[in-house]
């Protein structure tokens, strides 16, 4: 995290912890280091460097589960690192090497963007026979004069929330940066589904760039 801050500050603490629609769109813009010594990884450590343990734990858990289901060995940092301890470089290297970890994928929260938009009211008229099968059946006979119903929609404000994260993949053997990305997820609500949506997007990009080997 370039700037030290709470992972999901303010109102987003409630938003991210409570709900997430399964169709929350994720946008990822990535960069692959052409000079990296390691070209792909097979055993990942997922490290959510978030200030709040209640976000870090489920994020790592569900992210790692998705990659594991895809045939990539993957563990969360909390399975080997205590959240209340500051580790030095040598200790981390020993832990990663003992597990055979060849890639460290680190996530950081950047900021949250909110955009308000107004949905104008619209009014439509529909023949009454639209509303049930018998009305539609009756409409087919002559001498019937269908009535009309007025339906109004809109006339309210909506708020779109976009959460921005950064992700960096480091090779363990040379500690060099293999891949970096800016990730944005729109209107996240359930943290488990948010984690899976992000994992799907990252996995697809890794596969496209041939960064993973099974």
What string of pLDDT tens digits covers the 214 residues of the chain? 343 333 444 433 333 433 333 456 899 999 999 888 788 899 999 999 998 898 899 999 999 999 999 999 999 999 999 999 999 999 999 999 999 999 999 999 999 888 877 777 777 655 554 445 555 555 554 444 455 566 667 677 778 889 999 999 999 988 899 999 999 999 888 889 999 999 999 999 999 999 988 6
Q: What is the pLDDT of residue 133?
A: 53
Q: What is the pLDDT of residue 121?
A: 77
Number of domains in the chain: 2
Beta-carbon count within 10 A of 107 CB: 24
For residues 138 and 198, membership in a common domain is answered with: no
Q: Is residue 18 situated within a structural domain?
A: no
Q: Is residue 13 situated within a structural domain?
A: no
Residue written as token pair 């303010």: 10
Q: What is the pLDDT of residue 148?
A: 57
Domain span including residue 49: 37-111+160-208
Beta-carbon count within 10 A of 199 CB: 22
For residues 85 and 165, membership in a common domain is answered with: yes
Residue written as token pair 């006979």: 141
Length of the chain: 214
For residues 104 and 129, membership in a common domain is answered with: no
- Report whether 182 contacts 205 (CB < 8 A): no
Beta-carbon count within 10 A of 77 CB: 22
Q: What is the pLDDT of residue 18?
A: 35
- Report whether 29 contacts 206 (CB < 8 A): no
Beta-carbon count within 10 A of 198 CB: 24
For residues 103 and 182, membership in a common domain is answered with: yes
For residues 91 and 196, membership in a common domain is answered with: yes
For residues 83 and 67, membership in a common domain is answered with: yes
SS3 content of the chain, % helix, strand, coil (to 5): 30, 35, 35
Q: Is residue 164 situated within a structural domain?
A: yes
For residues 61 and 127, membership in a common domain is answered with: no
């Amino acid at each position: 995290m370039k700037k030290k801050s709470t992972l999901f500050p303010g109102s987003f603490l409630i938003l991210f912890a409570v709900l997430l629609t399964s169709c929350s769109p994720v946008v990822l813009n990535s960069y692959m280091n052409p000079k990296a010594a390691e070209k792909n990884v097979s055993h990942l450590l997922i490290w959510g460097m978030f200030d709040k343990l209640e976000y870090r734990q489920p994020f790592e858990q569900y992210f790692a589960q998705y990659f594991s289901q895809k045939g990539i060995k993957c563990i969360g940092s909390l399975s080997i690192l205590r959240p209340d301890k500051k580790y030095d470089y040598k200790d981390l290297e020993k832990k990663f090497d003992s597990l055979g970890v060849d890639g460290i994928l680190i996530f950081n929260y950047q900021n949250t963007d909110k955009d308000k938009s107004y949905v104008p009211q619209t009014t439509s008229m529909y023949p009454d026979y639209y509303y049930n099968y018998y009305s539609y059946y009756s409409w087919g006979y002559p001498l019937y004069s269908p009535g009309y119903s007025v339906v109004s929609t809109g006339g309210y404000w909506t708020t779109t929330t976009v959460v921005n994260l950064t992700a960096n993949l480091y090779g363990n053997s040379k500690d060099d940066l293999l891949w970096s990305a800016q990730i944005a997820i729109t209107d996240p609500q359930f943290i488990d589904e948010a984690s899976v949506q992000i994992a799907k997007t990252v996995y697809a990009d890794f596969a496209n760039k041939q960064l993973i080997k099974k």
